[in-house]
């Protein structure tokens, strides 16, 4: 599952069917930021206590990733194993012609499975459009700042040349008065 999401396991193991009974209530997979922030050495097999009573065991460490885009900071993350009837997110890949039908089907199924929780499906494109817009704004800001820096540099160069010309003009005038050709 982790590899299909683009997540890379760097130490330990992932959740597997043969360990489902023990993984279901007590195992977590953490990211590198989690290990670093909490100062855990050799994290695989270590016990973590959450909310003063819940004991969890680290079974794997995954590489850091950017869940909210490259502009957001990486947070300490822990993945907890849940059974199929407890999933909160579902990612679906479909052909572009079937988008509307698949979305309607997912909404129907969602209301059957979890009737008390509203369906809040969204398209990955809308998330990517937001990321692109943020990146475009950052690029535009850097272009503007670069243009301002170029203008200030040109003004500084013009000032230096002007001062040099004024000094040279005085120098040439003094030399002429002293009799040079």
Write out the DSSP string of 80-142: E---GGG---------GGGHHHHHHHHHHHHHHH-TTS------HHHHHHHHHHHHHHHHHHH
- Give residue 127's pLDDT band: very low, low, confident or very high (50, 70, 90): confident
Tell which residue, 129, 110, 137, has the closest CA to residue 121.
110
**For position 154, what pLDDT does the model report?**
97
**For position 146, what pLDDT does the model report?**
97
Look up the pTM and report it: 0.51
Task: Output DSSP code: residue 72.
Answer: S
Residue 21: is its pLDDT beyond 80?
Answer: no
pLDDT in tens, 143-167: 999 999 999 999 999 999 999 988 8
- A 10 A CB-CB count for 99 gives 13
- A 10 A CB-CB count for 79 gives 18
**For position 3, what pLDDT does the model report?**
53
Helix (H, G, I), strand (E, B) or coil at 51: coil
CA dihedral over 66, 68, 70, 72, signed as positive or negative: negative
Residue 24: is its pLDDT beyond 80?
Answer: no
């Amino acid at each position: 599952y982790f590899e299909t999401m683009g997540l890379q396991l760097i130490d330990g193991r992932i959740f597997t069917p043969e360990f489902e009974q023990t993984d279901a209530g007590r195992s977590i997979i953490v990211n590198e930021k989690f290990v670093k922030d909490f100062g855990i050495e050799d994290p695989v097999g270590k016990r973590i206590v959450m909310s003063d009573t819940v004991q969890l065991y680290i079974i794997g460490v995954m590489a850091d990733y950017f869940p909210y885009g490259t502009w957001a900071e990486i947070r300490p993350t822990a993945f907890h194993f849940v059974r199929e009837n407890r999933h909160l997110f579902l990612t679906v890949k479909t052909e572009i012609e079937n988008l509307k039908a698949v979305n309607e089907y997912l909404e129907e199924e969602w209301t059957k499975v979890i009737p008390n929780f509203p369906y809040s499906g969204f398209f990955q494109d809308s998330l990517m459009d937001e990321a692109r817009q943020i990146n475009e704004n950052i690029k535009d800001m850097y272009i503007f700042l670069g243009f301002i820096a170029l203008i200030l540099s040109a003004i500084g160069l013009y000032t230096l040349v002007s001062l040099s010309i004024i000094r040279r003009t005085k120098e040439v005038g003094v030399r002429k008065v002293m009799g040079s050709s």
